[in-house]
Amino acid sequence: MKNLLVVIIAALLLLGVSAVFVVNEGQRGIVFQFNKIKRDSNGEMLVFEPGLHFKIPLIEDVKKIDARIQTMDEAPDRFVTSEKKDLMVDSYVKWRIADFSTYYLRTSGNIENARALLKQKVNNGLRTEFGTRTIKEIVSGDRSEVMEKALESARSSREDLGIDVIDVRVKAINLPSEISNSIYERMRAERTAVAKEHRSKGQEQSEIIRATIDAKVEVMLATAQKEAFEIRGQGDALAAKVYADAYKQDPEFFGFFRSLQAYENSFNSKSDIMVVKPDSDFFHYLKDNAKQK
């Protein structure tokens, strides 16, 4: 009997605990009764605000939905401008649930379904705005107007999806990769051609400058060599004149002096050997000295 009482008390406690549910801040709760949404007397869906609430155990179940501001930041999409040019547009959307009843009926409470439907609606608005403008208009200053128009178009999702779109922003606008690559290749080819032209002109100027400098160097060397020959000739002529003047003043002394220089140079080393005739003119002054003695 005591065990049965314990079991009954435990069951009652378990039922009491399961009858209570808490909806946290930033969430909303929807109660299902036999897998059907619980509604009020007017047939409207019951949405429970944050706080402590009660439900019928084993009969009712609670599904909690995030009510905070959400960010939808998907991969860039391709849009076509009025000039039939493709653009890759990277955008993001800030949104939150405004009507939980409509939101649940359209998306079954699945946030991925909500994002897919919202993305389609936002992209339709962006596609319309991009389709009426050229690339120049979009890039030069119409981006803010494009985002405002897209935001106005997306706000209709409040009635369709129960979602309140807070902001639509375009982060980046780029050309498709295949077009960007072709443009980069063309720019690279143009820059390469310009670089080759500058190099050829530089090489041409280098050759002209080098040839001019070489010509100047040759002229300078020739002039210097000419001046060196002239100076050397003037020096030789001056030396010859000095020798001639000295010879004219005393030819005998000059001959004697030159003979002494010849003797000194000839007998400079003890190993020097000279084979001459004794009566050679080389010993002219030696012979005269010997006769005088």
User: What does the pLDDT read at residue 291?
Assistant: 47
Does residue 115 share a domain with residue 24?
no
Q: Which domain holds residue 100?
A: 70-175
Angle 156-158-164 from CA coordinates, rounded to 5°: 110
Question: Is residue 194, in this structure, part of any structural domain at all?
Answer: no
Distances (CA, A) of 131 to 12, 78, 134, 138: 65, 11, 8, 10
- The token pair that represents 92 in the structure block: 């993001």
Question: Is residue 80, in this structure, part of any structural domain at all?
Answer: yes
Nearest to 105 by CA among 93, 116, 114: 114
The last residue of a domain, from among 66, 93, 108? 66
Does residue 20 share a domain with residue 87?
no
User: What does the pLDDT read at residue 286?
Assistant: 61
The answer, as to whether pTM is greater than 0.75, is no
The last residue of a domain, from among 24, 43, 66? 66
- Residuewise pLDDT in 10s, the chain (293 residues): 667 676 677 766 676 667 788 888 888 888 888 777 777 777 777 788 888 888 877 787 888 888 888 888 888 888 888 888 888 888 888 988 888 888 888 888 788 888 888 888 888 888 888 888 887 777 776 777 788 878 887 877 777 888 888 888 888 888 777 666 777 778 888 888 889 888 999 998 999 999 999 999 999 999 999 999 999 999 988 888 887 777 777 777 777 777 777 777 776 766 767 666 666 666 666 665 544 44
User: What does the pLDDT read at residue 185?
Assistant: 78
User: What does the pLDDT read at residue 213?
Assistant: 92
Question: Is residue 241, in this structure, part of any structural domain at all?
Answer: no
Question: Is residue 23, in this structure, part of any structural domain at all?
Answer: yes
Does residue 96 share a domain with residue 27?
no
Cβ-count burial 86-109 (b if 16+ within 10 Å, e if not): ebbbebebbbebbbbebbbebbeb
CB 118 within 8 A of CB 161: yes
User: What does the pLDDT read at residue 88?
Assistant: 84
CB 87 within 8 A of CB 173: yes
The count of domains in the chain is 3
